Amino acid sequence: MNKTIREVRFSVWFEEDNFSRDSTIDFSSAFEQPKFSREKLHQLLDEFLNDIEEDVRDEHHSSS
pLDDT (tens digit, 9 = 90+) per residue, 9-63? 999 998 888 888 999 999 998 888 899 999 999 999 999 999 999 988 887 677 6
Distance CA 51, CA 10 (A): 12
Q: Is the pLDDT of residue 2 over 90?
A: no
Contact at 8 Å (CB) between 48 and 10? yes
Contact at 8 Å (CB) between 4 and 35? yes
Distances (CA, A) of 37 to 4, 6, 14: 9, 13, 28
Distance CA 41, CA 51 (A): 15
Residue 14 three-state SS: strand
